[in-house]
Amino acid sequence: MGYEQDERIVMTLDAGGTNFVFSAIQKNQEIIDPIRLPSNAHDLELCLQTIIDGFTRVKKQLPEPAVAISFAFPGPADYPDGIIGDLVNLPAFRGGVALGPMLEEIFQLPVFINNDGDLYAFGEALAGYLPYINNLLKIAGSPKRFQNLVGFTLGTGFGAGIVRKGELFIGDNSGAGEVWLLRNKLHPTMNVEESVSIRAIRRVYAQLTNILFEESPSPKEIFEIGMGKRPGNKEAAIEAFQTMAEALGDAIANVLTLIDGLAVIGGGLSGAHPLFLQKMIDEMNGKYRNFQGNEYRRLVPIVFNLENNKDLDKFLQGEKKEITIPKTNKKIIYDALPRLGVGISKIGTSRAIALGAYAYALNELDSKSKRN
């Protein structure tokens, strides 16, 4: 379901707590210079007017009229109805704000709002990691193809989105993929985000080096320390990311137990994957032990680190076997290796979210057209 040749234009917004960045996409490409405006998160009327002004400025720059508005906005929210709930990083939104219906009235366009984790996953599924891996499988001559993907974002928080056979799974309360609320393996009375986030990396490094949290370097600096590119406590830096890896691997394994699909990781912390990805994979490939002392795999499929060339080769090759169909002389070939893979975004988180917003709008418009 590619939209690389689609002439339709969709206006988009990247909504942060400090700034709103407006743009427009056509043929999976940004067609105007982004417009950056302060979010005015403290004042609802001013914030709403900023959103109106931003899209108005985008509209004036378009070569032809847009067919929709589509963007990510923080939750909680009733995304299908475009109603935003009580937000933390945009405190002016309280009590339910009908943002989508307001924009539809003003611009006379369909408006689609989603969680950024959902749109990230949708972008990766339609124009990012999923087609990338399936193309590698095709080149390798493998009959295996993946249809399901979970996209995880690591940054200020821990988010995710689920895509099944080209369709974004939102849930009945717009709450699917709220992985930040999974139980924390390392601290069972807490949610996993306390160990999988920017603050978690800084906290663990501070604890290991006996400094105050406020004095702890940024995760980028801690990563550089761990890679030996910056002075500091290298062992503590590595341990900070390895600690996150254990909690992260446990959480992703729980998700893939239900979803059984590829996983792709984006967000600000994903660039530090040399210090955490293999440890995370090892956690996912771990074992359970029953009361009789017997061990068995935590996940039925083997999980491969797709950033490791040897793992990637094994993943692409699989285990092709020729077997005889019972009571016949016919033979068939099948891939006997149940497997999943985890990799790092190749297109970048922001681009994946933008492509997800674009594709979601066009997909919904096309689906509505078919129903009518």
- Residue 219 has a pLDDT of 97
Handedness of CA 87, 19, 118, 370 (dihedral sign): positive
Within 13 Å, how many C-alpha atoms sit on residue 316's CB side? 18
Query: pLDDT tens digits for the chain (372 residues)?
Result: 568 899 999 999 988 778 899 999 999 999 999 999 998 888 999 999 999 999 999 999 999 999 999 999 888 899 999 999 988 878 889 899 999 999 999 999 999 999 999 999 999 999 999 999 999 999 999 989 999 999 999 998 999 999 999 999 999 988 899 999 999 999 999 999 999 999 999 999 999 999 999 999 999 999 999 999 999 999 999 999 999 999 999 999 999 999 999 999 999 999 999 999 999 999 999 999 999 999 999 999 999 999 999 999 999 999 988 999 999 999 998 899 999 999 999 999 988 999 999 999 999 999 887 776
339 forms beta bridges with 302
Question: What is 168-184 written as a DSSP string?
Answer: EE--TTS-TT-GGGSB-
Global confidence as pTM: 0.92
- Residue 1 has a pLDDT of 54
- Residue 19 has a pLDDT of 87
- Residue 372 has a pLDDT of 67
Gap between the Cα atoms of 20 and 281, Å rounded = 36
- Residue 75 has a pLDDT of 84
Within 13 Å, how many C-alpha atoms sit on residue 267's CB side? 23
131 forms beta bridges with none
Backbone angles phi, psi at 265, to 5 degrees: -115, 130
Q: What is the DSSP letter of 236?
A: H
Place of tokens 């033979």: 331
Query: Do 118 and 112 meet the contact criterion of CB atoms below 8 Å apart?
Result: no
- Residue 120 has a pLDDT of 95
Give residues with Cβ within 8 angstroms of 181, minimum separation 6. Answer: 191, 192, 193
Q: What is the DSSP letter of 140?
A: T
Nearest to 236 by CA among 214, 211, 266: 211
